[in-house]
Structures are given as C-alpha cells and as structure tokens.
C-alpha cells in the first residue's frame, strides 16, 4: 500500500495525526494507497515554511526564477509518461487524456517562465515637471492552491507556476482522492532547484482547508472545485482578508443549429460529453438541438456511442475509463433513474452495461427530451451523461443558457458565420467555442466562467493569473534638478 505524505520545506513530512484517507485504483476498485490528513499544526508548519522562504525568494532575480522555471518545464516534459500513468492509476482517465492534461499544464509553466514580460509595468516620464510615475507588480507572500480530483496535474499547474514565478511561495492542498501526480510534480520542483519552502504540498481534507482560509500569513487563495465548496471558500477567505478566486461547477451547453455539419457536431458531442467519463468542468452536459436537427443529431450521437470502448484507462483501446469512486458512480446512476422517472427518453442507458471486476465503471448515457425542470438538467452530474434539450428557435436556446445558473463554457455548431458571431455577442458564459466543443483557452489567455462557475473577479492563469498573484505599486518620483546640485556634476549651473 503506497503512502502519500506532505512535502514541507523541501522534504517529505509524514503526518502525525493518525488520520488517513483511502486512495483507490478506479479501474479495479482496489484500495492502492493511503493519504495523510493534515492537522492544524501540520498546516501551520507548511505555511511557516512558505513564509520563511518568501523574503529570499521575492528578492531572487527574475532571470533566476525564469531559468528555474525552464528547468522545471524540461523535467515535467521528460517525465510526462510517468505523470500520465500516475493520473490514470488514481483518477481512472485514459493515458491519452492524462497526457493531454500534462500538455496543457506545460503551457502554463511556459507562460510562467516568461515572468519578466508578464510582470512588466508602465512608466510615464515627465507626468509633471521633473516628475515621473511608474508602476511595479509585487508578489503577495504565501499563496495557497486548493484543487479538485478531476485534473490532479493540470489544475495545480494552472496556479503554482505563475504564483511562484511572480515571487510568491506556495502551499498546495491537492485533492485527497488522487494525490500522486501533484506530489510527484512538486518533487520535480525540488529537483529543478527551487529553494526549500518555495513549493509545499499538504495532503488533507477540510481540516487543512479551514486552517489555510483563516491563517493570518496566507495572503491569497486560489480554488477549483464544486460550487458549494467554492462559495464557502470565497466567503470565508474573503472574510479573513485574503484575495480569492474560486472556480466552481458547470453545466456546459452545446447549441446545434439546423445548418450545422452534423458529423462534426455529433463527434464533438461524443468527445466532449464522454471524454474523461464526463468528469471535466468543460465537458458538454447538454446538447441544445434547434428545430429539425434534433432527430438526425440524436441518431448520429447514438451511432457513435456504440463504438465507444469502456475499460481501464491504461489499455490502448479504451475510449472511456471508470468514474473516480463507487459513491460517485451511484450518484450518477441516481440521476439517470430520476431523468427516466421524470419522463425523459433514455436513448442509451449506461446502467445496462455489464463490466467484469469491481472497477467504478458506468457506461456512456444519452438522454433525450430533457426539460429544464428535471434534476438531470438542473444539477451538475459530472459523469458520462449527455442530455438533449429540444428547442424551436435560436432565441429559446440562448435564453436557456442565460437562465442556467452556471456560465463556464458553451459552444455553437453552425456553418453560418453571422449566426456564430451573434452567439458570441449574446451568450452568457466565460468561454465560448465556435464549432469547438471544449473552448479551454490556451495558456497565454485566461480561464474562467461566469455566474456560479466563478466566485471572485479574476480568471485563472495567463495574464489574469499574474494579476491575481501580484499587487500593484505606483511610484511617483521627483529628482532635484542636477543643475542645482551642491556638487559640480558638469551640468550647466543655474544658481
Ligand atoms: P470538491 O469541491 O469536492 O473538492 C475540491 C477541493 O476542496 C478538494 O481539495 C477537497 O479536499 C476540498 N473540499 C471538499 N469539500 C470541502 C469542504 N467541505 N470544506 C473544505 N474543503 C473541501 O470538488 P471535486 O469533486 O474534487 O471536483 C469536481 C468539481 O470541481 C466539479 O464540480 C467540477 O465542475 C469542478 N471543477 C471546476 C473547474 C473550473 O475550472 N471551473 C475545473 C475543474 C473542476
């Protein structure tokens, strides 16, 4: 049984709490490890290590920070296959999905390595006679990241490379469900040569989180996870004077107009609905079919679903792995049952697929004729369940999206540029795809939703990430006229 401990001040720190959580391999259902659950004292030790490392780290030149970040990037890239293996073994997603997650994380390290450009301020000469004004961005101090199970490598990489490159020191409280990948990546930070205490990892649950949210030395909290926890994190950390960004749940809609390329739309719905078993905050959960496209679209999606192979994530022919836990699988099954009971048409029923062994498998599921009052529509299921809502007009579709409380990602499928442009203008969501079902911004833009998909005002990574992890200082300076100096500097004198 593998054990996952904290990483504090550059070394492994075993918990003394006596509390541990189980870690499973979702493909087999076996418990493969135990993860430490931090106490308040252990949490304080991680924050103290980060606080002690801060003065020297913020004084370290941008050139050195950037060089270390490049070295870290090379180590992550060189160990991609191992990171993907760790992700798949505890999350369940397929190896190509896991590798894709590392690739997206690498983009964030690359952006962070360009810290010198990202943090450059403005300079205004001669704002008043002899007066110059400029601004500089400075780090905040101890920064905290609290991350979800579904991207155990990528979401931490959304946060700490930027935070650290900007001069902060970091404490990561990763998900207790799949701790291996983020711990491994933090160890690569040590190997890259970051000083001890700059990057710390705390294993644990709400005990650690609650202490981090109220600890006086923590200056900023970045969170990604479910909406109820995000709301709580935002309120609590804000009440304790911290800067907070809390990215939350989602229910992403994909609007398909009657003129769409049907094959492209059906492929997109299948990939974005069932990739990573639907455990993605940018997964498509609802297909909104406008007018006569509904019947052929549902048929095309159903046909493609019959070709999906569900199995262990480390098998080369697997398209979709298991869900993360047995409890989560039961929860997903409950939503399908509730949808059927409420009168929706379960076209493909994931409950009916039989699997050998005790893995947490659930088959891809397609539910047609879903209405906005059904729980299958109102709740975030976070599993391989694709709902189809049929509407008559574009306006109805946009209104449906607007009325949904979340606003993470959305997409339109059409061949009409004018319709697509109008959708981009109209729609209430933070990230929009045009014939692209999962419009996750590249690393030099920023990621964030609207509505109940984000609490706070700053999006994650990219330029907004740097903004979040730094604060502005504006300097107004005046130097005496050198011609009036008491020492003869060689200027023509005017006294
Ligand atoms: P979660 O909210 O259960 O857990 C996230 C983190 O919060 C974990 O580190 C966990 O230990 C901690 N936590 C959980 N309950 C807590 C509590 N009561 N008090 C304090 N801390 C607590 O989320 P999850 O199940 O790990 O991840 C799935 C969720 O994350 C989905 O809702 C998904 O949409 C969301 N998500 C959002 C984004 C985004 O960018 N918006 C990205 C990925 C995942």
- Residue range 252-434 forms a domain whose CATH class is alpha beta
Q: 391 CA distance to ligand 1 centroid (A)?
A: 32
Q: Is 193 left (phi over 0), alpha (psi -120 to 50) or beta?
A: left
Contact yes or no for 415/259 (Cβ under 8 A): yes
**Bridge partners of residue 345, in order along the sequence:** 368
Answer for the pair 447, 460: CB distance below 8 angstroms, yes or no: yes
Residue-wise pLDDT tens digits, 11-70: 999 999 899 999 999 999 999 999 999 999 999 999 999 999 999 999 999 999 999 999
What average pLDDT does the structure give for the chain? 97
Residue nearest to atom 20 of ligand 1 (CA): 206
All residues at 6 or more sequence positions from 59 whose CB lies less than 8 Å from its CB, including other chains: none
Is 335 close to ligand 1, i.e. is its CB under 6 Å away?
A: no
With bands split at pLDDT 50, 70 and 90, how would you rate the model's confidence at 110? very high
The answer to whether 83 and 68 are in contact (CB under 8 A) is: no
Task: Please work out, in degrees rounded to the nearest 5, the angle formed at the alpha carbon of residue 89 by the alpha carbons of 72 and 147.
Answer: 55
Whether ligand 1 lies within 6 angstroms of the CB of 229 is answered as yes
In the block, residue with structure tokens 């705390």: 202
The CA 149 to ligand 1 mean position distance, Å, reads 7
Looking at the DSSP assignment, which residues form a beta bridge with residue 13? 6
b/e 423-445 (16+ beta carbons within 10 angstroms → b): beebbebbbbbeeebbbbbebee
**Pairing state between β 123-128 and 131-139:** antiparallel
Atom of ligand 1 at shortest distance to CA of 460?
40
For tokens 């304080």, what's the residue?
Answer: 44
Domain borders along the chain are: 2-248+453-476, 252-434
Beta bridge partners of 25: 30
Give the β-pairing of 218-224 and 243-247: parallel
379 in Cβ contact with 269 (< 8 Å): no
- Cα(172) to centroid(ligand 1), Å: 14
Name residue, tokens 């391999």. Answer: 25
Please indicate whether residue 380, judged by its CB atom, sits closer than 6 Å to ligand 1. yes
The tokens for 165 are 């490159």
Rounded average pLDDT over 190-218: 98
Give, rounded to a whole angstrom, the gap between the first and last alpha carbons of the chain.
83
Atom 31 in ligand 1: residue holding the nearest Cα:
226
CB 94 near ligand 1, within 6 Å: no
pLDDT on residue 495: 59
Select which of 7, 113, 171, 281 is catalytic.
Answer: 281
d(CA 11, CA 196): 8
Q: What is the pLDDT of residues 289-329, one digit of tens each?
A: 999 999 999 999 999 999 999 999 999 999 999 999 999 99
Residue 494 has pLDDT above 80, yes or no: no
Q: Is 250 in the pocket of ligand 1 (CB under 6 A)?
A: yes
For a mutational test of ligand 1's pocket, the pick from 38, 149, 202, 226, i.e. the residue with the most ligand atoms closer than 8 A to its C-beta, is 226
The answer to whether 163 is a known catalytic residue is: no
- Residue 279 near ligand 1, beta carbon < 6 Å: no
133 Cα to the center of ligand 1, angstroms: 42
CA of residue 150 to ligand 1 center, whole Å:
9
Residue pLDDT, tens place only, 123-165? 999 999 999 999 999 999 999 999 999 999 999 999 999 999 9
* Ligand 1 center to 146 CA (angstroms): 8
Does the pLDDT at position 334 exceed 70? yes
- Which of 229, 438, 447, when mutated, tests ligand 1's pocket best, judged by the most ligand atoms within 8 Å of its CB? 229
Cβ(225) – ligand 1 distance below 6 Å:
yes
Architecture of domain 2-248+453-476: 3-Layer(aba) Sandwich (3.40)
The answer to pTM > 0.85 is yes
Lowest-pLDDT range, 114-123, 216-225, 388-397? 114-123
Question: Measured in angstroms, how far is the CA atom of residue 148 from the centroid of ligand 1?
Answer: 4
In DSSP notation, 102-143 reads HHHHHHHHHHHHTHHHHT---EEEEEETTEEEEEEEEE-SEE
Residue with tokens 């970045």: 222
Cβ of 148 closer than 6 Å to ligand 1, yes or no, is yes
Residue among 4, 148, 465 whose CB has most ligand 1 atoms within 8 A, to mutate: 148
Asked if pLDDT for residue 332 goes beyond 70, the answer is yes
pLDDT at site 119:
82
Q: How many residues does this entry show for the chain?
A: 495
Q: How confident is the model at residue 120 (pLDDT cuts 50, 70, 90)?
A: confident
Interatomic CA distance for residues 109 and 162, integer angstroms: 7
């Amino acid at each position: 049984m593998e054990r996952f401990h904290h990483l504090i001040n550059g070394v492994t720190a075993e918990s003394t709490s006596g509390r541990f959580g189980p870690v499973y391999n979702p493909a087999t259902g076996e418990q493969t490890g135990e993860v430490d659950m931090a106490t308040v004292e252990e949490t304080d030790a991680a924050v103290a290590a980060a606080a002690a490392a801060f003065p020297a780290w913020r004084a370290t030149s941008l050139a050195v920070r950037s060089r270390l970040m490049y070295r870290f990037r090379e180590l992550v890239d060189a160990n991609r296959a191992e990171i993907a293996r760790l992700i798949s073994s505890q999350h369940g997603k397929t190896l190509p999905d896991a590798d894709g997650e590392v690739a997206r994380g690498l983009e964030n390290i690359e952006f962070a390595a360009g810290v010198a450009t990202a943090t450059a301020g403005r300079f205004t000469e001669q704002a008043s006679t002899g007066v110059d004004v400029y601004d500089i961005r400075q780090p905040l101090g101890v920064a905290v990241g609290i991350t979800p199970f579904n991207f155990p490598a990528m979401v931490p990489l959304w946060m700490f490379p930027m935070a650290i490159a900007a001069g902060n020191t970091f404490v990561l409280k990763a998900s207790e469900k799949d701790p291996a990948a983020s711990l491994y990546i933090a160890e690569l930070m040590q190997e890259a040569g970051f000083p001890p205490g700059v990057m710390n990892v705390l294993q644990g649950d709400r005990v650690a989180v609650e202490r981090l949210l109220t600890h006086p030395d923590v200056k900023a909290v970045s969170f990604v996870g479910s909406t109820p926890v995000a709301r709580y994190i935002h309120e609590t950390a804000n009440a304790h004077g911290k800067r907070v960004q809390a990215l939350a749940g989602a229910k992403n809609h994909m609007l398909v107009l009657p003129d769409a390329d049907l094959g492209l739309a059906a492929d997109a719905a299948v990939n974005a609905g069932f990739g990573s078993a639907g455990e993605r905050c940018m997964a498509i959960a609802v297909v909104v079919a406008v007018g006569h496209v509904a019947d052929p679209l549902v048929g095309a999606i159903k046909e493609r679903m019959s070709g999906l192979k569900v199995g262990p994530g480390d098998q080369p022919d697997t398209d979709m792995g298991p869900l993360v836990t047995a409890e989560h699988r039961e929860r997903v099954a409950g939503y399908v049952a509730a949808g059927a009971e409420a009168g929706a048409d379960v076209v493909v029923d994931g409950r009916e697929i039989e699997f050998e062994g005790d893995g947490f498998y659930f088959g891809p599921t397609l539910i047609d004729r879903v209405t906005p009052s059904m729980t299958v529509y109102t709740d975030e299921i976070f599993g391989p369940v694709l709902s189809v809502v049929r509407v008559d007009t574009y306006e109805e579709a946009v209104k449906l999206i607007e009325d949904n409380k979340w606003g993470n990602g959305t997409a339109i499928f059409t061949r009409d540029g004018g319709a697509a442009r109008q959708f981009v203008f109209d729609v209430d969501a933070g990230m929009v795809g045009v014939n692209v079902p999962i419009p996750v911004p590249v690393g030099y833009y920023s990621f964030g939703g609207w509505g109940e998909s984000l609490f706070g005002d700053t999006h994650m990574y990219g330029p907004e990430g740097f903004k979040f992890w730094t604060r502005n200082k504006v300097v107004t300076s005046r130097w005496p006229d050198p011609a009036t100096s008491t020492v003869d500097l060689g200027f023509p004198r005017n006294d």
